[in-house]
Structure 1
């Protein structure tokens, strides 16, 4: 792909991702409204699938930097955004190997990407919450989740179901939209 076209697509997908992250976020579990799904992963996924894995990582990093510069939510972004970046990087890596690097049948690729991607995202986010977010929120935001819900209750009853559901929704939507975006990009 020509370098100019590739850079233009990276810029386009980064901008779409920022817009989706800033304006569309929905809580999935009513008891923990601060855990919100944002659809910013979809343009990142498109960039990864239409360009390459490194371009997907670059789109993710540009989106995150723009979010910090244009719509900074303070402590929530300083703690949550690194988690979002690492979680999405793990998810992208798993999806890349499920969808591009193997020779499974297409329906197996899609099914395995949904299952393995969701599980990888969930495991990463449980670890990040336990070792990173919970201690930092307690120290800097004066919000001790251990006293409110109990750490293991929070991880088991909120973080695990949220991230499994988020993974299934984001991957499924991305896989459904990909053929249309691919056709549209090929027309340009």
Structure 2
């Protein structure tokens, strides 16, 4: 019995690593959407993270996020600017994982719960990342690179960071919903019981 339990653990670790690698690759498909904050880019790296949430729960999803960020740091280096970006990406992923887990639980195929998770995670990410960008992330980034803003920081957050996070949360949430529906049978066999 312990050998089958061990192989399950190895299989689980391999799947988490694969989802982390997929998440890292999806970081390359990125594009800016708000002209005053071109450094904020939407990517689809949270789709495997959210699929991992369904299959392995919040700890698995956090591990997938950590793998994605670690691979990014290894490939792009560990300069202070990269660490700020990767740290921000990690925090943004966490703000999606927690509300989705709270709303979906084990009923990931429930439409009302999926909508609740989408809306709540979008709002959570928007509020938390806006506050963090205003108080910590952007001031540190500007200090590290000696950047000067042409508009007040509060306006950059209000007109750049807030709409970016709303759009990102909705786009990523809708794509996740679509992918989860397409993988319904596969996910049903593997979802955390």
SS of alignment partner, residue 146 of structure 2: coil
TM-superposed deviation, 1:7: 1.2
Shift of the 182–13 alpha-carbon distance from structure 1 to 2, 3 Å rule, reads farther
List structure 1 runs of 4+ shifted beyond 2 angstroms: 71-76, 103-107, 179-187
TM-superposed deviation, 1:138: 2.1
User: What do you get for the CA RMSD once the two structures are aligned?
Assistant: 2.2
More RCO (CA 8 Å, sep 6+): 2
State the TM-score, normalized to the length of structure 2: 0.86
TM-superposed deviation, 1:111: 1.6
How far apart in 1 are the matches of 2:37 and 2:143? 20
Query: Who is 2:21 aligned against?
Result: 15
Query: Who is 2:73 aligned against?
Result: 68
Query: Who is 1:87 aligned against?
Result: 92
The count of residues paired between Structure 1 and Structure 2 equals 183
Structure 1 stretch displaced more, 31-40 or 52-61? 31-40
SS of alignment partner, residue 33 of structure 1: coil
Q: Which residues of structure 1 form unaligned runs of 5+?
A: none
Query: Who is 2:34 aligned against?
Result: 29
TM-superposed deviation, 1:53: 0.9
State the TM-score, normalized to the length of structure 1: 0.88
SS of alignment partner, residue 169 of structure 2: helix
How far apart in 2 are the matches of 1:140 and 1:5? 42
Q: Which residues of structure 2 form unaligned runs of 5+?
A: none
